[in-house]
Every structure is written in structure tokens, then in C-alpha cells.
Amino acid sequence: MHLWELLAVLGIGFLILEMFTPSMFFLNFALASFICALVSVYEKNPYILVGVFFVFSFLSFLFLRPILVKKFCKSKETGLQSKYIGAIAKAEEDINEYTGVISIYGERWDARSENKTVIPKGSEVKIVRNESIIMYVEALEKQGEG
């Protein structure tokens, strides 16, 4: 196997890793591997190839990754942030700064009042943040009253 073939296979391996972890992280190494494969056709010195790999990896992290993340990543929020934060839930018990329970998406979560007020059972609340398994909520203002 020639050196350029080995580097091309390494680049394909990085592309496969990127498919399983879509974070635009391994894509930079894949690009650097493919560039090294092209350079290795003309240059056989491994020290130069390692230098080329590191330089192009660094440059793509510095310049290409921010552009790709901005273009292809719709939301910076993942996990709990994207599913729950900002969502409307129902208070299953009175909620205060020390105790409470909400239900959302058929799930029950421990809850605390974000602004340290008492939120009565049955109220609709908005989830504003979470810490571990505790959701911090605010009471929704009633529409049409007043």
C-alpha cells in the first residue's frame, strides 16, 4: 500500500467518524488527511507530511469549522436545552424554591420556582433552565384577564 492510499483511507475514516458525531470536528482531520494524501504523491518525507497534516488541521479548525458550524448547525442547543427549555408544562404540585413537580411530554420532573414565588398546582409554567434533573420554571401570565 502506498502512503497516499493510507492517508486517503485515514481521511475516509475521519469522514465516517464525522457521520456518527456530527460536530464538524473530525471533518477538519479528514480534509487535512486528503491534502496530505495529495502532498505525499510528491513528497515522501514523513516529517513534512506530519507538519502539513497539523498545519491544515489547525487552519481548518481556525477558519473552516466556524463557517460550517454557522451554516449547517441550526441550533446550538442540544439535549435537554432543545427539547424542554422554553416549553410549557403543567404544575402537578405546588412549586416553590425548594420543592415541586411538573409534567411535560408525559414525563414528571422535579421543579423549582425560578423567581422564588409559589406557583399553585394546576398552573401552566414555562421552563427557563435546568440543573441536572431539576427544572426551573416561571408561572405563565394569564391571557385575557384584567
- Convert the pLDDT of each residue in 96-131 to its tens digit: 989 999 999 888 999 999 888 999 999 999 999 888
| Average pLDDT, integer, range 66-92 | 72
Domain encompassing residue 36: 3-72
Query: What is the pTM assigned to this prediction?
Result: 0.49
Total domain count for the chain? Answer: 2
pLDDT level of residue 140 (50, 70, 90 thresholds): confident
Q: Is residue 86 domain-shared with residue 64, that is, in the same domain?
A: no
Question: Using CA atoms, how far apart are residues 14 and 32, in angstroms rounded to an integer?
Answer: 10
**Neighbour count for residue 17 (Cβ, 10 Å):** 15
Q: Is residue 111 domain-shared with residue 66, that is, in the same domain?
A: no
Q: Is residue 62 domain-shared with residue 90, that is, in the same domain?
A: no
To which residue does cell 399553585 refer? Answer: 120
